[in-house]
């Protein structure tokens, strides 16, 4: 029997003579899941769009064939007229995109956008269509489908929107679903739930799935077959068991080596002693007032951070882990004095062991300038945190310029030194940021943070915008610099695997509160809090034998009232942080 | 419901703004030393015509121009009793034009409606031309369609309006037998409204509309094109394509809706710039709009006439911005419900 979808010798190029996709082959059987794995720029997304015929205008298909089994007929999608292709898009083959927030029109109701698929392809009455959409909304897990139908995208969370996108892709009962990094923009626990949903729907309808991802952990949880791509070519192809179990191609092996995992067991390392703290945040809370809908209603108070105590020992790394909205970034901003904590909170910073600590929340302007020299930040997105209109040398010397340090030539020497320290070549000084890759840019922003010779570096998700292999290098670099210069890091991340590698102490935050805190070895070997357990369970690992335990995830990541008795949060009754063993604190009733 | 409440709120702020604007207008007009009457008195005294001086002095008292400025202002808007009790803007008394020696209302009365007519026609023209051309230029960007429409647009922007008016009059008369000058055939003036009169007005409107609207339309088209091009790259466009929508339908439904926001927000700005921009055109074209009257009034410091016209233009602007704000609310749910971050 012929394959359900067979891509042969697909070659796509843009204006340049070298193709971007070079003779790609893969095939897929009915009901199976094929994962296309690769780093950014590998051509995985482009290959998928070619199937649907939604390539960018400047792309040229140079050769190849995409045979698709449509109503028991073999058709070549590349030869199909635009009109015929339109009747297949959304109907027989549908697609889910990476960023649900941006993939839905902000001006149209969610339900309407989903219903539109049926309006385009079927002659159903409005009523029948709405019924179908509501049924599908219920299936993908909306607690109140009617309300979701009427909502606008900006009224929903990312996870909910991705469910709506899935509903939209599934509504016409397609034979093939193409999911392009469907969970990359989501939190781990949401990712686990969305992946589970796709899997369930697949087993219900028997559709085939092409899953495009950069995450081997996701592949291990989802795929029957795997295609590994790099620079537009297929590196390795085969059954998931074989490719993941014994990767043959060096590139696949490299990807595996770089994929961060949570260690199952590790040696016990005691938490760092708290006798020489560089940063000591005491009783930090932060509330925001959101403007209410009208002048008559009271303002809404949002508690971003509640009663956080955080102690960072000199030369160590303290990691704060949590999902979006957990308050971890607010903590980072407060630590740097970019935001003031509520009255009563104190942020103590001690630049050297024998100095008296300064209170960051109460600095005068002049003191603040001095403090800024000691504490710097590395941002998440290296693409938007470097000015595209400044040469690298200007970006790197700007901090020195602001603080009036050194002569011009001294500053330039310093910039060169920094560039070399982060593993870049001095000849790059005159270039603009666009000439650098994501990893190189993140190196640049680390170099910028280091020019003032700070003592404390706050890293806000420094690797989450990067490919795994690049992430690995950046983490190496951060570790190396920390040890060489005795730096201390406050490390913000949503990725437990990254944290397990770099941190000396980890705090897990949820909805503004620390729920568990311990050194990584203790935390990952013996997680106590249901939320921590959910985070660990949701982490996809590149091991097909260790699949995500969705029950554990939904229990811990669900409402805090559904947790076991001893951990339960109720309005006023919030359990205290208890020290269960030395250095291991859990928010639970005694 | 939200819309109604918002519209009410906007109406209140509009009235307050109008009050503020009236004060600004009044004091700015009075910034240069003297006023129409003091100028006249000085001139009459210099030429020794004492009889005229007495009349001017009488007028000065009659219109309270001998009082402190703040009182003059309050009397003008009708919040303070003048020589004959409360009689100002609020009471519907728009004052006296010294230059034309007539009540202001008699001078601007008909011109007001013609001004609104001409400018509404021009605004409509701007939108009707800019919308399809802008969308087309974006959808077929970097093809001959795009280049041609941009070229015509730039030509429209770059040609001085009055020059365009003269050229169009000449060729319009020569080939299409279009009338020259005025807003209606001379024999129709003062006649009661009739079918023939409406037809005459419409015929006379063609060229002024085109002349006043071209540059606005060109600018608006370029803005819409740029907005559309930005939107075309957004992921939701890709989603719509992946659904199997036809390109035209997709274009109309998604990116155009998004690109409309700035387009709608421009309504407020368009009205005043057109009215002030059309002054020169009105003079050249011989249109009896308030433009030429405003020019004369400002030159001779005829303060009640100038003040009234400026206030009227301000009112139009405020109404325009209010319309665009309410339309934006209707168009964009993010504005309607106040986007949470």
Inter-chain residue contact B257 with A108, CB threshold 8 Å: yes
Question: A558, A510 in Cβ contact below 8 A?
Answer: no
First to last CA, chain B: 24
- Say whether pLDDT at A296 is over 70: no
Nearest by CB: B242 against A54, A87, A155: A54
User: Which 318-337 residues of chain B touch chain A by CB within 8 A?
Assistant: 331-334, 337
Question: Looking at residue A129, what is its pLDDT?
Answer: 95
Return mean pLDDT, chain A.
89
CA A188 from centre of chain: 8
Q: List, for residues B79-136, the tens digit of each pLDDT value.
A: 888 777 788 888 888 888 888 888 888 888 877 888 888 888 888 898 899 999 899 9
- Say whether pLDDT at B12 is over 70: yes
pLDDT tens string A121-135:
999 999 999 999 999
Does the pLDDT at position A352 exceed 70? yes
Asked if A105 and B244 come within 8 Å (Cβ–Cβ), the reply is no
What is each CA distance from A369 to A353, A364, A412, B32, in whole angstroms?
20, 9, 22, 51
Position B338 pLDDT exceeds 70: no
Q: What residues of chain A lie within 8 A of the CB of B236, using their CB?
A: 102-106
pLDDT for res B236: 92
Query: At residue A441, does pLDDT exceed 80?
Result: yes
Question: What pLDDT was estimated at residue A275?
Answer: 83
- Position A297 scores a pLDDT of 62
Closest CA to B244 of A68, A72, A94: A94
Residue pLDDT, tens place only, A147-194: 999 999 988 888 889 999 999 999 999 999 999 989 887 888 888 888
Question: What six digits make up the tokens of B145?
Answer: 């369609």
- The residue-averaged pLDDT of A224-251 equals 92
Check if the interface score ipTM surpasses 0.95. Answer: no
**pLDDT: which is higher, B291 or B234:** B234
Per-residue pLDDT averaged across B232-244, rounded?
90
- pLDDT at residue B156 above 90? no
Q: Residue A314's domain is classified under what CATH number?
A: 3.40.50.300
Does residue A30 lie within any of the structural domains? no
Residue A184 buriedness (CB in 10 A; 0-12 / 13-18 / 19+): middle
Q: Does B233 touch chain A (CB under 8 A)?
A: no
Kindly state the percentage of chain A with pLDDT values over 90. Answer: 50
Q: Which residues pair with A237 in a beta bridge?
A: A227
pLDDT value for B282: 80
Tally of domains in chain A: 1
Cα–Cα distances in angstroms (integers) from residue A481 to residues A299, A502, B144, in the given order: 45, 12, 56
- The torsion angles phi and psi of B103, rounded to 5 degrees, stand at -65, 145
Of the spans A205-219, A541-555, B27-41, B325-339, which averages the highest pLDDT? A205-219
pLDDT on residue A583: 85
What average pLDDT does the segment A97-118 reach? 91
Interface contacts A/B by beta carbons within 8 Å: 81
What is the model's pLDDT at position A291?
62
Tokens of A140: 């993908």
Say how far residue A417 (Cα) sits from the centre of its chain: 32
Q: What is the distance between the alpha carbons of residues B341 and B339, in angstroms, rounded to a whole number? A: 6
Q: What is the mean pLDDT of residues B53-73?
A: 84
Residue with more model confidence, A165 or B193 = A165
Among residues A184, A189, A192, A191, which one has the least CA distance to residue A98? A184
Measured between beta carbons, the chain B residues lying within 8 angstroms of A165 are: 239
A290 to B242: CB separation less than 8 angstroms, yes or no: no
Of A90, A104, A108, Cβ closest to residue B242:
A90
How far apart CA B316 and CA B14 sit, in angstroms, is 11
Contact B339 A154 (CB under 8 A): yes
Q: By residue range, what is the domain housing residue A476?
A: 277-511
Read off the pLDDT band of B278 (50, 70, 90): confident
Buried b (16+ CB within 10 A) or exposed e, A344-370: ebebbbbbeeeeeebebbebeeeeeee
> Which residues, at least 6 apart from B283, have a Cβ–Cβ distance to it below 8 Å?
B291, B292, B295
Nearest to B244 among A89, A105, A290 (CB): A89
Higher pLDDT, B149 or A51: A51
**Going by C-beta distance under 8 Å and a sequence separation of 6 or more, which residues neighbour residue B187?**
none
Q: Are A425 and A389 in contact (CB under 8 A)?
A: no
Contacts of A168 in chain B (CB under 8 A): 239, 243
- Report DSSP state, residue A467: -
Query: What's the pLDDT tens digit per position in A507-547?
Result: 999 989 999 999 998 898 889 999 999 999 888 888 888 78
Q: Are strands A60-70 and A5-13 parallel, antiparallel or unpaired?
A: antiparallel
Of A86, A102, A120, which has the smallest distance from its Cβ to B234's Cβ?
A102
Provide the pLDDT for residue B341.
34
CA distance A482 to A316: 8
pLDDT at A294: 54
Q: Note the pLDDT of residue A311.
A: 93
| Closest among A387, A379, A378 to A434, alpha carbons compared | A387
Nearest by Cα to B182 from B198, B168, B199, B203: B203
Q: Which residues of chain B does A52 touch, with a Cβ-Cβ cutoff of 8 Å?
A: 241-242
Domain annotation for chain B: domains and CATH numbers:
104-337 (1.10.3720.10)
Q: Residues of B with CB below 8 A from A293's CB?
A: 337-338
A303–chain B nearest CA distance, Å: 15
Closest residue on chain A to B6 (Cα): A294
A326 CA to chain B: closest CA distance, Å? 15
Q: Do A103 and B334 touch (CB under 8 A)?
A: no
Of the pLDDT bands very low, low, confident and very high (cuts 50, 70, 90), residue B340 is very low
Give the pLDDT score at A562. Answer: 79
Q: How does the average pLDDT of chain B come out, rounded?
A: 84
Chain centroid to CA A235: 25
Smallest CA–CA separation between B334 and chain A, in Å?
A: 7
Mean of pLDDT values over A315-329: 90
Judged by CB atoms closer than 8 Å, whether chains meet at A105 and B331 is answered as: no
Q: What CA–CA distance (Å, rounded) separates B217 from A548? A: 59
Across the interface, which of A90, A104, A106 has its CB nearest the CB of B244?
A90
Mean pLDDT in residue range A428-456: 90
Max mean pLDDT range (A266-280, A453-467, A564-578, B182-196): A453-467
Residue B189, pLDDT > 80, answer: no
In-domain check, residue A143: no
Confidence of residue B194 (pLDDT cuts 50, 70, 90): confident
Identify the CA nearest to B308 among candidates B78, B119, B82.
B78
Could A152 and B334 be called an inter-chain contact, meaning their C-beta atoms sit closer than 8 Å? yes
In this structure, is residue A413 part of a structural domain?
Answer: yes
Query: Cβ contact (<8 Å) for A89 and B331?
Result: no
């Amino acid at each position: 029997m012929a394959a359900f979808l067979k891509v042969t010798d697909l070659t796509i190029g843009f204006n340049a003579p070298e193709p971007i996709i070079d003779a790609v082959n893969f095939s897929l059987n009915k009901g199976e899941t094929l994962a296309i794995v690769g780093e950014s720029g590998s051509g995985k997304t482009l290959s998928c769009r070619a199937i649907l015929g939604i390539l960018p205008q400047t792309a040229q298909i140079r050769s190849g064939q995409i045979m698709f089994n449509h109503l028991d007929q073999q058709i070549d999608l590349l030869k199909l007229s635009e009109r015929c292709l339109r009747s297949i898009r959304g109907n027989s083959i549908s697609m889910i995109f990476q960023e649900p927030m941006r993939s839905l029109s902000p001006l149209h109701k969610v339900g309407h956008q989903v219903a539109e698929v049926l309006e385009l392809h079927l002659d159903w009455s409005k009523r029948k269509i709405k019924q179908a959409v509501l049924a599908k909304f219920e299936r993908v897990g909306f607690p109140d489908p009617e309300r979701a139908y009427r909502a606008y995208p900006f009224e929903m969370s990312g996870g909910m929107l991705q469910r709506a996108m899935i509903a939209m892709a599934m509504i016409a009962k397609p034979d093939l679903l193409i999911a392009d990094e469907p969970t990359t923009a989501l939190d781990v626990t949401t990712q686990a739930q969305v992946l589970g949903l796709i899997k369930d729907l697949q087993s219900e309808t028997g559709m085939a799935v092409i899953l495009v991802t950069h995450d081997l952990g996701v592949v291990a949880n989802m795929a029957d077959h795997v295609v590994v791509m790099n620079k537009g070519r297929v590196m390795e192809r085969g059954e998931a068991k074989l490719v993941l179990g014994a990767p043959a191609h060096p590139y696949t092996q490299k990807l595996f080596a770089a994929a961060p995992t949570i260690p199952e067991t590790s040696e016990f390392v005691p938490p760092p002693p708290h006798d020489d703290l560089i940063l000591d945040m005491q009783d930090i809370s932060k509330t925001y007032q959101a403007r209410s809908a009208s002048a008559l209603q009271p303002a809404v108070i949002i508690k971003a951070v509640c009663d956080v105590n955080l102690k960072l020992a000199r030369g160590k790394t303290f990691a704060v882990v949590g999902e979006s909205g957990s308050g971890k970034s607010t903590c980072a901003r407060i630590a740097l004095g970019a935001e003031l904590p509520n009255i009563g909170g104190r942020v103590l910073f001690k630049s050297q062991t024998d100095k008296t600590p300064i209170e960051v929340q109460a600095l005068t302007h002049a003191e603040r300038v001095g403090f800024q020299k000691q504490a710097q930040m590395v941002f998440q997105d290296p693409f938007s945190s470097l000015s595209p209109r400044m040469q690298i040398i200007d970006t790197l010397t700007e901090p020195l310029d602001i603080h009036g340090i050194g002569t011009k030539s001294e500053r330039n020497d310093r910039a060169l030194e920094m560039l070399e320290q982060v593993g870049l070549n001095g000849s790059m000084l005159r270039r603009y940021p666009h000439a650098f890759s994501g990893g190189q840019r993140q190196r640049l922003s680390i170099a910028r943070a280091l020019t003032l010779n700070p003592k404390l570096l706050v890293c806000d998700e420094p690797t989450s915008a990067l490919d795994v292999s690049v992430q690995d290098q950046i983490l190496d670099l951060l570790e190396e610099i920390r040890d060489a210069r005795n730096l201390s890091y406050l490390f913000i991340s949503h990725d437990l695997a990254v944290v397990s590698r770099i941190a000396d102490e980890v705090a897990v935050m949820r909805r503004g509160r620390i729920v568990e805190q311990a050194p990584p070895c203790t935390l990952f070997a013996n997680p106590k809090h249901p939320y921590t357990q959910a985070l660990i369970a949701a982490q996809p690992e590149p091991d097909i034998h260790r699949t995500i335990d969705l029950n554990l995830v939904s229990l811990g990541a669900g409402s805090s009232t559904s947790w076991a008795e001893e951990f339960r949060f109720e309005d006023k009754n919030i359990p205290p942080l208890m020290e269960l063993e030395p250095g291991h604190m859990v928010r639970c009733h005694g | 419901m939200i819309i109604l409440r918002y519209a009410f709120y906007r109406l209140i702020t509009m009235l307050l703004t109008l009050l503020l604007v009236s004060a600004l207008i009044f004091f700015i007009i009075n910034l240069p030393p003297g006023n129409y009457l003091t100028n006249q008195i000085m001139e009459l005294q210099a030429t020794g015509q004492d009889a005229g001086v007495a009349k001017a002095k009488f007028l000065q008292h009659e219109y309270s121009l001998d009082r402190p400025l703040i009182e003059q202002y309050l009397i003008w808007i009708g919040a303070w009793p003048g020589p004959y009790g409360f009689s100002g803007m609020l009471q519907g008394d728009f004052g006296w034009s010294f230059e034309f020696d007539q009540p202001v209302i008699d001078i601007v009365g008909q011109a007001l409606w013609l001004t609104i007519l001409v400018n509404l026609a021009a605004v409509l023209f701007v939108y009707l031309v800019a919308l399809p051309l802008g969308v087309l230029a974006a959808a077929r960007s970097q093809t001959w369609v795009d280049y041609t429409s941009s070229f015509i647009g730039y030509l429209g922007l770059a040609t001085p309006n009055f020059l365009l008016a003269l050229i169009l009059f000449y060729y319009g008369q020569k080939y299409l037998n279009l009338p020259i000058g005025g807003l209606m055939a001379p024999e129709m003036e003062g006649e009661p409204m009739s079918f023939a009169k409406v037809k005459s007005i419409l015929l006379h409107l063609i060229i002024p509309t085109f002349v006043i609207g071209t540059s606005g339309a060109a600018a608006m088209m370029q803005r819409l094109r740029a907005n559309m091009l930005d939107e075309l790259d957004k992921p939701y466009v890709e989603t719509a394509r992946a659904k199997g929508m036809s390109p035209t339908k997709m274009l109309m439904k998604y990116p155009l809706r998004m690109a409309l926001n700035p387009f709608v927000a421009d309504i407020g700005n368009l009205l005043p710039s057109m009215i002030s921009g059309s002054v020169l055109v009105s003079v050249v074209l011989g249109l009896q709009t308030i433009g030429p009257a405003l020019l004369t009034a400002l030159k001779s410091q005829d303060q009640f006439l100038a003040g009234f016209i400026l206030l009227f233009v301000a009112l139009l602007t405020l109404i325009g911005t209010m319309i665009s704000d309410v339309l934006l609310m209707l168009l964009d749910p993010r504005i309607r419900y106040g986007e949470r971050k």
